Chains A and B, each alone.
Chain A
């Protein structure tokens, strides 16, 4: 009996150590961000509402970068949500069982597609076609389209899980009442999965906000407030990737400040996703 308890204590110790390590790493990362960003924040160089990001001129306005990130994400969500919902409903309700099974597994696999692969596809397939229709090609719109393609699998998988979790009694009741499939979907299923959809969109948004390779390849990377959707923009993440290797001093601190703001944004989104998670479902 004594030896069993010691092994349990050993196990508990290992698990606690693992959890503690994660907390230490996360807190450490946040502390590093704050420390590296402080010269720019405390010195007043970084301007949250400043419209001009021109490090060579000493201007560190974050507005174009934050607006770029937020608009690309919002646009991607707007495009991805209906598609993902459609895919999820197809898998759950409409599709033949064998196809639904294939698609369910396929979507799960697609969530792991390397973002650089999607970026190259966007650069070689989407951007030239968009450019022929409306110059210059690399733009906010291109970013929204390609990013939407990237997050559809993630959002679809999460919504589909929500749909699968709807109690079977409700579908049986709807069938017993003779409701059409459309009524079933619109009046029974959709209201039931609203929390799952919100949760899925929040997670998709967090993923889109943090995406670097895709947006760096297709958005044009011009740090400006866009006047329309076909205008190039730059996101916080692409900005970090482009400028960090070549930045020093205040410029570098400003980059860290932008990263800090983005991290807080993503954290807030994930907290929202957690708050909106479907009750009773495995989180």
Chain B
């Protein structure tokens, strides 16, 4: 092509690669449970703070911790409480989440005890008669590394290697689709996604454990069997932009977004 056009093209490409001003850019990474709602918060934050860009990346709570420690991100997203050797980071809890056992809507079993749950997932109880139904149980477990799995293991006291599952799913949605497609299936998911699916007509049902229902109201009241805090973590004092974002997450507007996403806001309102 003519020389002049070539140079103009190169100039345009170079100009298009402007670097972002670090004071106006915020990066979050971590839990895939938190990522969607963090994205919602980010969009709202960007709208009220012109010129600011907020990037949200997934990768799991472990990545959130690692990236925050290394300084790769200003805020890590962690969907559990920090452990003893994570005390070098500061956790800012912005919501609560719970995990519920779900079964198919046509399944007559309404409740389990913790002991029954342990037996089912360990593989020593394989039939629905343990809960009052009949037929073989199709056990759905989460893949390794998911904090949902870790919370389930903490609640049941099992190790990952003890579990005998029929199906291993990667995401909450896959668990829901598997249970919705199989009247004999039993699985566990985040309460928010379960309630959202039920509201959309998916044929699943929440199951109580040890007499405690696992609903968002129960999480807010503190009676749900398996709950976890949703945290934004920072290392050391947060930057000005990060602090502004954290403050925004505690406002009523943000908490309404959090509630719409299926989690329980930290300042529980009557539901």
Which residues of A pack against B, CB within 8 Å? 54-57, 123-124, 127-128, 131, 135-138, 216-217, 220-222, 232, 234, 241-243, 245-248
Contact = CB atoms under 8 A, between A and B. Distances in A.
Contacts of B145: 243, 245-247
B103 to A, nearest CB: 14
Contacts of A246: 59-60, 62-63, 143-146
Nearest to A59: B161
B144 A137 contact: no
A54 B170 CA distance: 16
Q: In the complex, which of the residues B145, B159, B169 has the most CB atoms of chain A within 10 Å of its own CB atom? A: B145
B212 interface: no
A242 B170 contact: yes
B143 A222 contact: no
Interface of B: 32, 58-60, 62-63, 66, 135-136, 138, 143-146, 159-161, 165-170, 174, 177-178, 181-182, 184-185
Given A124-B181, A220-B167, 17 more contacts: A56-B144, A124-B177, A127-B181, A131-B182, A135-B138, A135-B166, A216-B170, A221-B167, A221-B169, A222-B166, A232-B166, A232-B167, A242-B168, A243-B143, A246-B62, A246-B144, A247-B145
| Cβ-closest 6 pairs across A and B | A246-B145, A128-B181, A221-B168, A136-B138, A136-B166, A56-B160
Contacts of A124: 177, 181
A75 to B, nearest CB: 19
Contacts of B60: 245-246
B59 A137 contact: no
Contacts of A123: 174, 177-178, 181
B143 A221 contact: yes
B144 A243 contact: yes
Given A245-B58, A245-B60, A246-B146, A220 B168 contact: yes
Given A222-B166, A232-B166, A232-B167, A138 B161 contact: no
Contact of B184 (A54, A56, A57, A135): A135
A54 to B, nearest CB: 5
B167 A222 contact: yes
Contacts of B168: 220-222, 232, 234, 242
Contacts of B174: 123, 217
A131 B146 CA distance: 26
Contact of A138 (B63, B144, B178, B184): B178
A160 to B, nearest CB: 35
Given A56-B159, A123-B177, A220 B143 contact: no
A57 B161 contact: yes
Contact of A128 (B63, B135, B143, B182): B182
Nearest to A231: B166
Contacts of A55: 144
A137 B170 contact: no
A138 B140 CA distance: 11
A248 B145 CA distance: 10
B57 to A, nearest CB: 10
B197 to A, nearest CB: 14
Contacts of A217: 174
Contacts of A232: 166-168
Nearest to A220: B167
Contacts of A138: 166-167, 178
Contact of B167 (A54, A136, A243, A245): A136
A123 B60 CA distance: 25
Contacts of B62: 246, 248
A2 to B, nearest CB: 19
A85 to B, nearest CB: 32
Contacts of A245: 32, 58-60, 63, 145
Contacts of A54: 160-161
Contacts of B170: 216, 221, 241-242
A20 B136 CA distance: 57
A60 to B, nearest CB: 12
